[in-house]
Structure formats: C-alpha cells, structure tokens
Chain A
C-alpha cells in the first residue's frame, strides 16, 4: 500500500520536494496527492510534513521529525562484504563506495557521501544481506563513516 495525503494538507510542497520517486504532485497551497504506482514507501514525506497530513502504508498517521533527529546508516565494518547492495538500495544516491580500501584491507566500503541528502528511509540497512548497516541517530560532530 502506498502512502496517502489527507485533507490536513495545506499544499506547502515539502513532501513533493523531498520525494525521491517523483510520486507527489499538486498545486501550491492546494492538497497534494500521491501516485500510488510510483510511491516506494520511504516515509520521507511523513517526516517532513508540518501538518501531519500523511498516512503511512498501514494507514497510520505520520509525525514530523526534526531533520537532525532522522536516523542515518552506520557501518559495522567487520560485517560488511563490500557487495554494494546498500549503495544501490539508496533512492537518493547519498551512499557511495569509497575510492580507497578500508584500513588493513583491499575492499572498498560504503559511506555516507552526502549526509544532507539522506532521507533516513533505511532501505540500505534493510537490504544489506550481512546486516552491516544499522540506522542510528547521529551525533552532530560524528564523521561520515
């Protein structure tokens, strides 16, 4: 089931701007709508909506979360098999494989190349076969690994 926008929507367009699949459209200051065939249920719309106008795939209401509070992927290097499934899973392209090998190794590793672009969807973590990525709240001063 795709996400849905309720009548609480004031047409601010925040959801349409962040949606990575281009599923949301609508006129400014008018209720927006989600194209169900494009929605990938990443939840980004729900996290940015100041009106709490989004219903998730299960029909529950979504609450806006401050962007600094969004969960971000964190790598457990020992578990990572460098398969790059996580990089492919990311709908916004904020993850990348390193151009140099990991310490004492020969393989590259995934890292958050564009922290600001991350929408906290968790697809990278969910699809990692080795569970080498966990979604965590980041400290402000923490590095990008």
Chain B
C-alpha cells in the first residue's frame, strides 16, 4: 500500500485468448520507473528482433505513470508503447484524461497485448477478473460512440481506451482514444490495436494507489499549485500576434520562463500560441515551404485564441491537473459538444494547409478524434497532397475530382474524410506522407516532410534548431514533446542539476545555430528528463513551470522513500532513453536513416520570413548528441560499455 507502483503487469495473448498476471521485481522499477520505462523494459526483452509491427509478435502496452495516483500533480499521463508500424522504430504515444489511474486501480502498472485475435474483442478488467469479450457490435463505431456504448454497458466510472474506425482500417497514422476526444495519437499505434482486432480496453478497478509519505506528497503538491496560481496579467489573445512579430524581427532573445506559458495555457489552452507561433516562425506553413508572408495577420486573426476561447463552456482538466489547458466547447457544427482543438491540430489543419476557416478546424478535429486519426499527421498528409496537386504530380483524376488547392477548405475536408474512410485518394494517403510518397513517386518524397516516417509536429526546427535535433535523433523520430532549446529554458533544470548550463540572460538568435558541446548537453538533458518524466507519467506542460516550482524529483522521493538525488533520477532517464535506442538497433534500425527531411532542415534555406537563411546541419549535430549518451558517434548505436554501465542486458 505504501508503494507508488502495483508491482504487477497483465500480459494478454490475443491469439489464444490467455491472460497472465506477472510480478515485476522492485529492481525494475528502480531502474526504469513504470510508464514508458517499464514499457521499454518489457518490449526490449520480449519482442523478437524481426517482429513485424503489424504481426502477432508486436507487443502493445498500456502503461500507467509511476507517480499517477500518489497525490502528485500533473502526473496523470499514460503511455502507449509498441513497435511503430509508421516508423519501424520504438513507438510510443502518451495521453492525459483518466485512463492512467484506471490501470493502477485494476492492480497493474501496465497491460500488454501480443498475438492477433481472430475476431474483434475488447478487454474488461473488474475486481481482479479479466475477460475478453466479443466486440463485433462495437466494430465500425467511432471512438466516442464506442466509449458511450461501453459506459452504458459497464457504468459511467469505467475508463475506456478505444480505437476508432481509422485504427480498424489499420491506418498507419491512427492512435488510441480515451475520455471522448483525448488521443495517444503518435507512432501509428492505433493500427497495431486494429490489426490485433482489439477494439477497446475497459477498466473498472478500485484498488488503492499508495505513496511512501502521503503527507509530503500533499505538501509538495501545494507548493506546486502556488506556482500554478501565480498571477500574471494577460491581455486579449490578439496581442500575442504582435509579440510574435517582435520576436521575428528582433536579433536578440532572452530565455523564456514557463510561468508566462503556464498563464497562456491556463487562459486559452495550447491554442493561445496560434498567432504568436505563425508570426515568429515557430509554426510551419504551406507544407513547410511558406512563411508568415503567406499566412499574414489578416489570415491568422481568424484563428485568434479569443475566438476559440469564446466557444469554451468549461475547462477540461486531465486527472491530477490543476492547470486545465483543455476545454469543452460548444460549436454550431455537427458536433455541438467537443474537446477544444489543440495548437498542433489547429496549425496542422490550418496554416500547414493554408486553411483559415476555424469552423472547419473544429469540425475536422472532432471528426479525426472520433476516427482516431492523428490530427498532426492527417493535416501534414493533406498539405503534402495539396502540394503534389499544385505541382501537377497529382491531378483531379487522381483526387477523385477534388481541387486540392492551398486554402480550399471544402476540398480539404472532403480529402480528410476520404482518408478516414480509405476511399479513393484517401486510401493512398491514410498511411502518412512517406508511404504516400512511395506510392506516388515522381519526386514527391521531396515534399513528404517526415523523420523516419513520422510527420513532425507544428514546431519548425529551422526556428528552434533543438526541435530538429530531437525530431531527427530520438529513438522515436519526428516527435516534439522531448526537447528543444525553448523547453530547456523552461524546464530550468540547471536550478536542480548544478552541472547543467544556465542560458545567458540575453543571447543572439544566431548563437542558437552554433554547433558546440553545450548544445549537445542541453539536448541530451531534455531527452533524459523527458524519458524520466514519461516513466513518471508527468505532463510536459506542468514541467514547463520549472524544476524548482514543479518538484518532480522530490515527488519521486516522497512517493518511494528512495532519497535519490536529481542526478540519480536523470540516470534513470538516460537508461530509458538508451534502452529505446537499443530496441531500435536490435530491430535493425540505422539511426541516421531517421534524419528530418531536407526542407525542414533548411538545406535549401527559405528566402523570406522568420527563418530566412536558416539551416540546421544535423550530420554535424548528431555525433555530439549521441556521444552524450555513450552511443557511437558515427552510428548512433549504444556502445557495449554503455549498456554494461546502465545494466541493460
């Protein structure tokens, strides 16, 4: 009862419908925590090297955060793990909502699935009983409909993770949904669930989750909440467009304090950054080939944060989150009650496709969440198709008559609907840009912006080179939630780890592009910290408060009684990161093959806009980053001595 972890996993073999509970030794938790760390441990050790991501040997894991349910805040994220069919690499995606504590309430730290069922099934866990039920009546329903049916059947307290129709159709850009519109979207793991014919996981446990020192947990949480409530006066959302313009033109910048970002998230959610990001060059536009000049203020004001906020009925807080960046919105469209679209979705379905119609963004966001298709990848693939059309590589004959021009909202909505239903051109595009470019040919790979097959998020690595480092070099490529220069500034890790560099109070933008050891240390620190945090189930937005204000390390100590130093915890993060890289190497991945597409690296620099003339030399950056982990400088593969040092067998 006084441990923050349950000490058990459930392994379900869908091929022969057997379920096995397994005890996990304490030593594993000390080395990897749970969440992503436990997921990496199980998958590395149990999945054969040649496992087909869409075959029976792939293992799909639903992993609860180590700190979930301990009285800590911002710690309610669960991580979905598996071998990604989109990239062939280590795959993970995480999600908030209420599913993470539900896994622990059932007495497990994680639930894994291997094999393939012969017919659709769903797993139900209640009071120590695990049962696979027929899911024929659920197959074909979207994610929200399915959740509603299952909650009617099992009661409103049941936590449900489910695939929509895109997962059923094995779209390589599909994810797993919960809480009526939250989605673990990245890495294409919805396709793995779909091919396994696992429609849903329904959890109804009531087991208690412990902590070594509950009083200390509460004390630390209150300290953290004081910072969440720290008042900063905020003006109307439109002002951020002007701030973005200033940030574009100024040659010098200062380190960002996450308190400001926290306040924006609190008031508007992630969409608070819409216009700011477009103006400052953070958000890619026109399939990574445009700039703010293509999407000027007159266009971007139509996705002004205040317009989105006006539709919000009430804030949505994930489990254990005092911030509430989410929202439940009412719109005039078909779906009158919907989760507020996130920044990534707004910009992928907006600026990246040159679409300025906010109603269509709300509509597509809901449609994609219901289908269980990743909004980032869907928007990116639509933008890719539009560019192919504009360049004559795709014609109206190929597009089933759709006139795929920049900003043609109607055609874009129709295209994404086809992607969801896998009809005509939609079938070609439903597996993301890399697969589509492979089928289309004709040099279209040049416009297929991806890293290792994963469409990157709406943060331009030509603006913050740190993004390009993480997009290109992480074991799970193309991901934006692991590190960046901006994140390093906001994490403020140097306040807890004395060896880490503190950014200067003022620095030139040019200095961000200089390749030196400090950049490698900063990037490695982000990766280690986020791997640790994904093991703990922490939300990155909470971590933006800064390491002294959000007491991640202290919560871990109070939850476990371990009395470790921040450096010891960073070593756990380093071990998780190295294990993921070792997973990739075991599965035949060459890390160099995952570098970002040339356009997004600025190999041909842009001629205008915030990122004019900017390029990022990833070939030169990679050796320094890999070296920070004890991975071979030339290949990115973990050295034997590194694996030995980290006790990875």
In the bound complex, residues from chain A placing their C-beta under 8 Å from that of B328 are: 99
Report A85 CB to chain B, min CB distance, Å: 6
**Cβ-based interface call for B221 (8 A):** yes
| Chain B residues within 8 Å of A91, by CB | 206
Q: Is B443 an interface residue (CB 8 A)?
A: no
Take A84-B319, A88-B319 as given contacts and tell me if A40 and B206 are in contact as well, using a CB distance cutoff of 8 Å.
yes
Q: What's the interface size class on A, roughly?
A: 20 to 34
Cβ-defined partner of B317 (8 Å) among A21, A35, A107, A130: A107
Is the beta-carbon distance between A37 and B128 smaller than 8 angstroms? yes
Inter-subunit contact B225/A85 (CB<8 Å): no
B206 touches A20 (CB 8 A): yes
Residues of B close to A37: CB separation below 8 A? 128
* Chain B residues whose CB sits within 8 angstroms of the CB of A20 once the complex forms: 206
The answer to the question of B64 belonging to the interface, with a C-beta cut-off of 8 Å to chain A, is no
Known: A82-B315, A85-B320, A88-B319. A127 touches B228 (CB 8 A): no
B315 touches A107 (CB 8 A): yes
- Asked if A93 contacts B314 (CB within 8 A), the reply is no
Binary CB contact string for chain A from 77 to 100 against chain B (1 if under 8 A, 0 otherwise): 000011111001011110011111
Whether A22 contacts B127 in the complex (CB less than 8 A), given A40-B208, A81-B225, A100-B314, comes out as: yes
Q: Please, which residues of chain A bring their CB within 8 A of the CB of B73?
A: 83, 129
Given contacts A21-B127, A82-B324, A107-B314, contact A93 B157 (CB under 8 A): yes
B206:A129 contact, CB within 8 angstroms: no
Does B548 interact with chain A (Cβ within 8 Å)?
no
CA gap between A97 and B218 in the complex, in Å:
21
Say whether B150 faces chain A, with CB atoms less than 8 Å apart: no
Determine whether A38 belongs to the interface, using a CB cutoff of 8 Å to chain B: yes
Mask, B501-536, CB within 8 Å of A = 1, is 000000000000000000000000000000000000
Nearest chain B CB to A120 CB, angstrom units: 15
Cα(A23)–Cα(B315), bound, Å = 37
- Is A101 on the interface with B (CB-CB < 8 A)? yes
Chain B residue at minimum C-beta to C-beta distance from A96: B156
A71 at the interface (CB under 8 A from B): no
Say yes or no: A84-B314 contact (C-beta < 8 A), given A40-B206, A93-B155. Answer: no
Shortest beta-carbon distance, A95 to chain B, in Å?
10
Known contacts being A37-B128, A83-B319, A88-B98, is A21 close to B313, with CB within 8 Å? no
**Which B residues, 140 to 187, have Cβ-Cβ distances below 8 Å to chain A?**
155-157
B102: nearest residue on chain A (CB-CB)? A88
Bound CA–CA A97/B208 (angstroms) = 21
Is B566 part of the contact surface with A, judged by Cβ < 8 Å? Answer: no
For chain B, the count of residues having a C-beta within 8 Å of the partner chain is 32
Q: Does A135 contact B (CB under 8 A)?
A: no
**Residue in chain A with minimal CB distance to B219:** A129
Which residues does chain B contribute within 8 Å of A23, judged by CB atoms? 127
A38 x B128 contact (CB < 8 A):
yes
**Inter-chain contacts of A85 with B (CB < 8 A):** 71, 319-320
Of A20, A21, A35, most buried by chain B (CB within 10 Å of CB) is: A21
User: When the two chains form their complex, are residues B313 and A100 in contact, meaning their CB atoms are under 8 A apart?
Assistant: yes
- Flag if A99 contacts B322 (CB, 8 Å): no
Determine whether B91 belongs to the interface, using a CB cutoff of 8 Å to chain A. Answer: no
Q: How far is the CA of A136 from the CA of B170 in the complex (A)?
A: 52
Interchain CB contact under 8 A, A83 and B315: no
Supposing A81-B228, A108-B315, A130-B222 touch, asked if A40 and B324 sit within 8 A by C-beta, the answer is no
Whether, in the assembled complex, B101 has its beta carbon less than 8 Å from a beta carbon of chain A, the answer is yes
- How far in angstroms is the closest Cβ of chain B from A127? 7
| B54 contacts chain A at the CB level, 8 A cutoff | no
Q: Contacts A83-B320, A83-B322 given: A130-B314 contact, CB under 8 Å?
A: no
Contact present for B217 and A129 (CB under 8 Å) = yes
B window 306-337: CB within 8 A of A: 312-315, 317, 319-322, 324, 328
Chain B residues contacting A35 (CB-CB under 8 Å) are 128
Contact check, A101 vs B314: say whether CB atoms are below 8 A apart: yes
Chain B residue numbers with a CB within 8 Å of A96 are 156
Q: Do B317 and A108 touch (CB < 8 A)?
A: yes
Chain A residues near B105: list those with CB within 8 A: 88
Contact status A82-B156, CB under 8 Å = no
Interface check B207, CB cutoff 8 A: yes
**Most chain B C-beta atoms within 10 Å of own C-beta, residue among A20, A90, A129:** A129
Q: Does B417 contact A (CB under 8 A)?
A: no
On chain A, the residues within 8 Å of B225 by CB distance are 81, 129-130
Query: Which residues on the B side are within 8 Å of A83 (C-beta)?
Result: 73, 317, 319-322
* Cβ of B126 under 8 Å from chain A: yes
CA distance A84 to B159 in the complex (A): 14
Residue of B126, B156, B206, B313 contacting most chain A CB atoms (<10 Å): B206
Contacting pair A98 B206 (CB below 8 A): no
| A36 CB, min distance to chain B CBs, angstroms | 11
A139 to B510, CA, bound (A): 67
Q: Which residue of B lies closest to A107 (CB)?
A: B315
Cβ of A75 to closest chain B Cβ, rounded Å: 15
Cα–Cα, bound, A93→B101 (Å):
14
Cβ distance B95 to chain A, nearest Cβ, rounded Å: 15
Decide: A107 and B324 in contact? CB cutoff 8 A: yes
Given contacts A88-B101, A129-B217, A129-B221, contact A40 B317 (CB under 8 A): no
Chain B residues within 8 Å of A129, by CB: 71, 73, 217-218, 221-222, 225
Q: Are A99 and B314 in contact (CB under 8 A)?
A: yes
Q: What does the 1/0 interface line of B275-317 toward A look like (CB < 8 Å)? A: 0000000000000000000000000000000000000111101
Contacts of A127 in B (CB 8 A): 71
Q: Digit string of B445-485 for contact with A (CB within 8 Å is 1, else 0)?
A: 00000000000000000000000000000000000000000
Chain A contacts of B127 at CB under 8 A? 21-23, 38
**Which residues in B have some Cβ–Cβ distance to A below 8 Å?**
69, 71, 73, 98, 101, 105, 126-128, 155-157, 206-208, 217-218, 221-222, 225, 228, 312-315, 317, 319-322, 324, 328
A-B contact pairs, 23 of them (CB 8 A): A20-B206, A21-B127, A22-B127, A40-B206, A41-B208, A81-B225, A82-B315, A82-B322, A83-B321, A84-B320, A88-B69, A93-B156, A93-B157, A99-B328, A100-B313, A100-B314, A101-B313, A107-B314, A107-B317, A127-B71, A129-B218, A129-B222, A130-B221
5 additional A-B pairs beyond A22-B126, A107-B314, beta carbons within 8 Å, are: A82-B322, A101-B313, A106-B324, A107-B315, A129-B73
